[in-house]
Structure 1
Amino acid sequence: MTSFLGAFALAFAAVVLVELPDKTMLATLVLSTRYRRRPVLAGAAAAFGVQCVLAVTAGGLLHLLPHRILEATVALLFAVGAVLLFRESVAGGDEQLGAGGPSEPDVSDRRVFGISFGVLFAAEWGDASQLATAGLVARYGQPVATGLGAFLALVGVATLAVLVGKVILRRVPLRLVHRVAAVAFTVFAVVAAVAAVRG
């Protein structure tokens, strides 16, 4: 059984790696160019919180499966995540971000919160980070540590997107980050598959 800090660190690292080049970061960046930063971040954090609870719950249910089936399921989750990331690295290209249109200062904070929540909740649904969170909970049985690590990673990436996203995307090719994340997910999948075979 992995320690609380170990599960937290694994979840944090996996989600940061996946989210840096992800549509979630891009969506947060675009929203922050149109609206005030605080309600955008608040809406994003609320969406991430709900998604993490859902992923942790799914992972907790998977953790109840017999060991071999559990490891095979975790391997499948990470393999799917690796395929999705690799596909994005091949097809997605290096996205160019526009300014996101003119700023809209007259929109209420409540409305900005709602827009941000809706956009980012939809963006995260079935995302590689959600698969990773569920897979890590299922494998290591540390729902609180994994959920907290994933949540803080998501909020951290969103904050980074708001503050310095454009600079990062100019310097680091998205294809490279997608491929590094795909390799990491492949390693997770292989480790879980080997554990399933060994029983």
Structure 2
Amino acid sequence: MSSLVQGLIKSLAMTVLSEVGDNTFFATVILAMRHPRRPVLLGCLASLSVMTVLSALVGWATPNLISHKWAHHITTLLFFVFGLWSFWDGIKDDGDDDEFAEVEAKLNAELNSDKGTTKKKSKDDDELKKQKRSFLSQFFSPIFLKAFSVTFFGEWGDKSQLATIGLAADENPFGVILGGIIGQALCTVAAVLGGKSLASRISEKIVALSGGVLFIVFGIQSFLSTVES
């Protein structure tokens, strides 16, 4: 039980500090400003939950591919690397809101592209499109699918995903999944409900430095802990 709780707490803290103020968080804010909140919230939560489960499964399988001792050492090293990475992001941050503007510009370009192609469609084309609509889009709205895809591909290969893999390799994977999903839910709800006012108040520098401290603490704790061969 203690292993489950430890994995949950570590995953929850890591997820919150990794996700607040990153590109996915800003993208969720922008989508919620332009579309109904419910499908945006559900799409982002579904995507992040799937990503968390997949990452934890990869981490859980890692000790079966290599020895648990080596998996532990690699995870410890990753914690220190991510800690230094976060420190570097915090140090080089000059306090500008360029990241939010960049994410907004990318979504604007996609939105304008979608509108341009839509305007060229006639009513007959729309009917044909409905008939050929994919299986998923018959059950989920386009906004849900857009939020899901933007979030999923935005998180793929992200620092938080790699950290979740490393954490699940060294901690109880069920605790890691539960903590990750709770953390993702908290961040997503805050992004959807808080909107741009919340994003403008977030200090990316403080978040990055706090995340760096957390990863270093995890690394030290992992380094000092014993592991079976």
The answer to whether the superposition gives a TM-score over 0.5 is yes
Aligned to 2:49: 49
2:203 equivalent to 1:176: no
Query: 1:190 corresponds to which letter in structure 2?
Result: I
Runs of 5+ consecutive residues of structure 1 not aligned to the other structure: none
Give aligned-pair identity as a percent.
31
Q: Does 1:81 align with 2:111?
A: no
Match of 1:37 in 2: 37
CA contact (8 A) 2:48 2:181 kept: yes
Tell which has more relative contact order, 1 or 2 (C-alpha 8 A, sep 6+): 2
1:132 aligned to 2:133?
no
Computing the radius of gyration over CA atoms, which structure comes out larger, 1 or 2? 2
Which residues in structure 2 correspond to 1:1-199 (within 5 Å)? 2-64=2-64, 65-94=66-95, 95=97, 97=100, 100=104, 110-140=141-171, 142-195=172-225
TM-score, normalised relative to structure 2:
0.73
Once residues 126 and 194 of structure 1 are traced to their aligned partners in structure 2, the CA distance between those partners, rounded to angstroms, is 28
C-alpha distance 23-56 of structure 1, shift in aligned 2 (>3 A): same
2:82, 2:2 → 1: CA distance?
22
SS in 2 for 1:63: helix
1:10-45 deviation per Cα after TM superposition (whole angstroms, max 9, x unaligned): 211111111112212111111111211111111111
Structure 2 runs not aligned, ≥5 long: 119-136
Distance 2:183 2:220 in 1: 24
Normalised by the length of structure 1, the TM-score is 0.83
Give the conservation status (yes or no) of the 8 Å contact 1:69–1:196: no
In the aligned structure 2, how far is the partner of 1:84 from the partner of 1:35? 34
